[in-house]
Amino acid sequence: MIVREAKGFSGRAYIVIPRDADDLFTLRRTIENGDFVVGDTTRVIKHLKQYGRPERGERVKVRVSLKVENTALYDAVDRLRITGIITNTDNELVSSGSHHSMTVRIDDTIMIEKERKWHNAELTILTRSGNTEDFILVAIDTQEASVAKVSGTHIKLIPNIYSGQSGKRYQSSRKSNPNIESFFEDVAKTIQSIMNNDGGNDACRTIIFGPGEAKRKLHNFLGTEKYRFEKEKLTIVDGVDVAGEDGIYVFLRSSALKEAMSSSKLAAVSSILDEVLKLVHNGELKYAMGMEEVTYAASIKNIECVVFSDAIFKTSDEDAVLKVLNSIESYGGKIYAVDSSTDIGLRVSSLGGIVALLRYSMR
């Protein structure tokens, strides 16, 4: 999560940009009733006709300030619903004093203002959620490339980029590959665009993989004088012989993920799930699945780390889930939220929506 203090509010307001499902969960815990949230949203505006019914209405984009009455994840960890009363707006057709619901998604920008100065504990939660390394994945061959951004446990895919090259891979002369440099330029510009949208995040690492030698050629191309990507921020991964969007998903399921992205939340969650499945296979009982087992394990402070997905909110009350997760964090347990943008999120959902590694067996 990107966090910065809003100027002129004496520590009462912070601007935040959630980067993954964990960040939205953090906002769910830090936004209180009575706070003010400023952000972009949409609202239907109906124009009244003389001597007739109002028109069906037009949905317009508007920036509003809400006095918060309720905050909820609403059956999804990748969307946060904030409900409250409009106190200010940049559109004269939207009246203050009316109720409105604002949906906050990953990469949205909002400002949170409290009537008091933020507590150190609240700021600690925000800044701790911000300690996430982002990655850019590139799955490429001579015909197509797909670029994806990994923030925490969230994946954002860019549509495939095509080179227009012939499928005859034995052709190697420059004349037979007239568009290869322009193809690499398109890929490089896409990577730069992602970094610029990320506020010029030069620390973002780029991982390149795919069949053949295209990945190495792109690696060299990105290091040329025109683009000057830092070589230490570029990594080539062998063993993933699929390009395009399929290549991205193959990489996310491969063992190469843990090696190339060892510092990422995604790799941590993948390791947790692999460990749980290993324990199940070996008949060891140092794991918990489902809300009932996790709640009991949390009550005796027996949870090392826990992973949950949006599936848990379909079978359990949200406040009950938050109470359990807060208790786990209070004694040092680690919490990871995952969404359905990855195969890992679907795996967690299939295991009851919440799984945990235990400190000791409780059965």
pLDDT digits 0-9 by tens, 253-276: 888 888 888 878 888 899 999 999
Q: Is residue 57 part of a domain?
A: yes
By C-alpha distance, which of 80, 63, 64 is closest to 72? 80
pLDDT digits 0-9 by tens, 307-316: 998 888 888 8
243-262 average pLDDT score: 89
Q: Is residue 256 part of a domain?
A: yes
CATH number of the domain enclosing 323: 3.30.1330.30
Angle, to 10 degrees, between the axis of helix 265-282 and the axis of helix 343-350?
A: 40
Q: What is the pTM of this model?
A: 0.77
Of 327 and 53, more confident: 327
Same domain, 287 and 353: yes
For residue 83, pLDDT beyond 90: yes
Same domain, 144 and 119: no
Q: Is residue 206 part of a domain?
A: yes
Q: Report the DSSP beta bridge partners of residue 235.
A: 207
DSSP 316: S
Residues of the domain holding 327 = 265-358
Same domain, 234 and 322: no
Same domain, 278 and 319: yes
Q: Residue 174: pLDDT band by 50, 70, 90 thresholds?
A: very low
Question: What does the block give as tokens for 212?
Answer: 């053949």
Q: Is residue 178 part of a domain?
A: yes
Same domain, 18 and 75: yes
Same domain, 336 and 354: yes
At a CB cut-off of 8 Å and minimum separation 6, what does 288 contact? 294, 296, 297, 303, 355, 356, 358, 362
Lowest pLDDT segment from 54-68, 259-273, 286-300: 54-68
Cβ atoms within 10 Å, residue 91: 13
Q: Give the span between the Cα atoms of 100 and 333, in whole angstroms.
A: 36
**Residue pair 183/140 in contact by the 8 Å Cβ criterion:** no
Q: Is residue 363 part of a domain?
A: no
Q: Give the span between the Cα atoms of 255 and 270, in whole angstroms.
A: 10
Question: What does the block give as tokens for 32?
Answer: 């209180």
Residue where a domain stops, chosen among 129, 163, 185 = 129
pLDDT for position 286: 94
At a CB cut-off of 8 Å and minimum separation 6, what does 202 contact? 195, 230, 233
Q: Give the span between the Cα atoms of 296 and 108, in whole angstroms.
A: 36
Same domain, 159 and 243: yes
CATH number of the domain enclosing 248: 3.30.420.60
Of 208 and 47, more confident: 208
Angle, to 10 degrees, between the axis of helix 318-330 and the axis of helix 290-299?
A: 40
pLDDT for position 167: 56
172-201 average pLDDT score: 75
Cβ atoms within 10 Å, residue 159: 10
pLDDT digits 0-9 by tens, 106-120: 889 999 999 999 988
By C-alpha distance, which of 334, 341, 338 is closest to 353? 338
For residue 65, pLDDT beyond 50: yes
Q: Give the span between the Cα atoms of 197 and 246, in whole angstroms.
A: 24
CATH number of the domain enclosing 55: 2.30.30.870
Q: Is residue 224 part of a domain?
A: yes
Q: Is residue 10 part of a domain?
A: yes
**Residue pair 25/120 in contact by the 8 Å Cβ criterion:** no
Same domain, 288 and 340: yes
DSSP 359: S
pLDDT digits 0-9 by tens, 11-34: 899 999 988 888 888 898 889 999
Q: Give the span between the Cα atoms of 181 and 169, in whole angstroms.
A: 16
C-alpha angle 21/265/344, rounded to 5°? 70
Same domain, 36 and 78: yes
Number of residues that this document lists for the chain? 363
By C-alpha distance, which of 1, 190, 8 is closest to 109? 1
Mean pLDDT (the chain, rounded): 85
C-alpha angle 263/336/299, rounded to 5°? 130
Residue where a domain stops, chosen among 260, 286, 305 = 260
Same domain, 278 and 324: yes
Same domain, 255 and 270: no
Same domain, 155 and 118: no
Domain count, the chain: 3
For residue 224, pLDDT beyond 70: yes
At a CB cut-off of 8 Å and minimum separation 6, what does 335 contact? 22, 25, 305, 306, 308, 325, 328, 329
Residue where a domain stops, chosen among 78, 99, 129 = 129
For the four alpha carbons of 124, 127, 132 and 133, in that order, the dihedral sign comes to negative
